[in-house]
Amino acid sequence: MKHIAFFLSAQEIDAKYSKPALELIRLSVKSGYGFLYGGSQRGLMKQAAREVKKLNGHITAVTWTDFEKYVNRDAHKIHVAKNIPERIQMLLDKSDAIIALPGGSGTLDEITSIIEEKKLDLHQKPVILLNSYGFWDGLITQYQRMFNEGFLPKKPEDLFYVSDKPEKIIKYLKEKINISSQGLLQELS
């Protein structure tokens, strides 16, 4: 089973953001992907895990020691990291793709760490921003400016894919994960 790491908020968020986020998660589970996330039983994380459970999807929680008390005990697998950087690395290592949903500073920290590792060619996994209502526009603009002014050696579109449409994201994932799997099979043969 392929797993998608979702970076999402542990806060209660406006329905204009939670509705497309939950739709994307539902579509990913219906497409056969495992749900990998920060494991919290609060906010959007709790709502998302509840949706995955309703669909009999596979849930993997990756938390860290200070937040272990909030972890979803209904997850199929629970991993506990020593600290936040180790947690981010575990989410990357255990996933086949990464999606950032609208979120706060924790989500921003996670996704920029993953983008940095992709920039450094430490992974080639698909990285996606669900850009509901232009939520990530500021970040996208900053990456474009860094590229335009010579601070970033790769174009933003080579580092991450952006869409506000859950269906388009699933189509992109199916193409990219399939390509990645074929490349790996060729390397192994």
How many CB atoms sit inside 10 A of residue 155's CB? Answer: 11
Strands of the 97-100 sheet, one edge to the other: 77-81, 59-64, 34-37, 3-7, 97-100, 127-130, 161-163
**Three-state secondary-structure class, residue 133:** helix
The DSSP output letter for 128 is E
State the pLDDT confidence band at 183, using cuts at 50, 70 and 90. Answer: very low
Taking the domains of the chain in order of start, what are their residue ranges?
3-188
Cβ proximity of 84 and 163 under 8 Å: no
Domain formed by 3-188, architecture: 3-Layer(aba) Sandwich (3.40)
Tell me: the pLDDT tens digits for 39-93? 998 999 999 999 999 999 999 999 999 988 989 999 999 999 999 999 999 999 9
**CA–CA gap between residue 157 and residue 182 (Å, rounded):** 22
What is the per-residue DSSP string for 56-77?
T--EEEEEEGGGGGGB-TTSSE
Closest CA to 6 of 68, 57, 66: 57
Element (H, E) at 99: strand 97-100
The pair of structure tokens assigned to 71 is 């972890």
- State in Å, rounded, how far the first CA of the chain is from the last one: 21
Q: What predicted TM-score, i.e. pTM, was given to this entire model?
A: 0.91
Tell me: the pLDDT tens digits for 93-149? 999 999 999 999 999 999 999 999 999 999 999 999 999 999 999 999 999 999 999
